[in-house]
């Protein structure tokens, strides 16, 4: 990716583009808690191979973006994303994809800037404060930023924390760890506080964007029922459950990226193909 920095509202923000030419309608990627843009690099490359350019950025206090003195809310981060698009001379609507914590930010972006967001992809995420919580043991491990700084600790907890293939695939865990850059302690805390008390449940029914919801069936952090709640609240949505854990975008990338591509390039007049819960199983690249 082409990695750069810019100044937005007096803060240094690090961002990356997979294409050096500003695309007509790129896909903006919102990352998970504590995760720098390097974790999105494999997905960004895979999307580019499918003809879709991407933009992602480190939220304040993560990766190469400066840590603010005071905490922030998701609305401020959505505004930052919109300002970044304007600084890159990207006019008109873009598509948005958010993972886990970043899925909440993607919902906020779509709600706050409906004219800016054409289609929405939500992966392993929730409606916020009204979520059905995951396993307590996994949540305790998740709030500990040590997983980003101590690879031995990550190896011990990854299976119980993320579920799915990371329970037994050491090579996949090493690939995931290779892209990790630790956040600052205060930056990690600010991300936790940004989501405290936030919920999208009050306005999800007003979202106009066709929405693809992707959830892992073996996700200790965000149980599948949270995706079912999102699908029930978002009018023009489709839910696809994946036979994997929280990091299915990494572990099942070759199977999931074409599904995302097909959803994003669908004709503007077509919706998200609302349907009952569909499953992408471990033995077939096609939705069952």
Catalytic center residues: 100
What is the token pair recorded at 30? 């919102």
Q: Could you give the CA distance from residue 178 to residue 156 in angstroms, rounded to a whole number?
A: 16
The strand pairing partners of 120, in sequence order, are 96, 211
What is the token pair recorded at 186? 């205060």
Nearest Cα neighbor of 54 from 14, 78, 100, 20 is: 20
Residue 230's Cβ-count burial label (10 Å; 0-12, 13-18, 19+) is: buried
Residue 140's Cβ-count burial label (10 Å; 0-12, 13-18, 19+) is: exposed
Asked if residue 71 lies in contact with residue 194, where contact means CB atoms within 8 angstroms, the answer is: yes
Q: What letter would DSSP give residue 206?
A: G
Q: Could you give the CA distance from residue 221 to residue 217 in angstroms, rounded to a whole number?
A: 11
């Amino acid at each position: 990716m082409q990695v750069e920095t810019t100044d937005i509202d007096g803060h240094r923000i690090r961002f990356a583009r997979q294409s050096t030419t500003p695309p007509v309608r790129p896909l903006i990627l919102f990352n998970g808690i504590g995760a720098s843009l390097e974790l999105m690099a494999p997905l960004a490359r895979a999307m580019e191979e499918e003809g879709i350019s991407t933009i992602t950025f480190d939220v304040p206090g993560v990766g190469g973006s400066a840590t603010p003195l005071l905490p922030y809310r998701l609305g401020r981060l959505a505004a930052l994303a919109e300002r970044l698009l304007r600084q890159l001379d990207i006019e008109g609507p873009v598509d948005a994809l958010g993972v886990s914590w970043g899925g909440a930010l993607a919902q906020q972006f779509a709600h706050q800037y409906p004219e800016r967001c054409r289609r929405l992809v939500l992966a392993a995420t929730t409606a916020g404060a009204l979520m059905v919580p995951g396993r307590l043991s996994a949540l305790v491990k998740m709030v500990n930023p040590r997983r980003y700084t101590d690879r031995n600790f990550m190896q011990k907890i990854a299976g119980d924390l993320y579920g799915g293939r990371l329970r037994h695939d050491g090579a996949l865990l090493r690939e995931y760890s290779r892209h990790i850059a630790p956040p600052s302690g205060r930056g990690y805390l600010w991300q936790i506080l940004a989501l405290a008390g936030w919920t999208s449940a009050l306005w999800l029914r007003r979202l106009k964007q066709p929405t693809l919801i992707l959830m892992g069936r073996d996700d200790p952090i965000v149980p599948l029922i949270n995706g079912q709640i999102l699908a029930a609240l978002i009018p023009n949505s489709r839910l696809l459950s994946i036979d994997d854990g929280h990091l299915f975008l990494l572990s099942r990338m070759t199977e999931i990226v074409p599904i995302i591509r097909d959803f994003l390039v669908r004709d503007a007049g077509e919706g998200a193909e609302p349907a009952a819960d569909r499953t992408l199983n471990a033995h077939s690249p096609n939705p069952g």
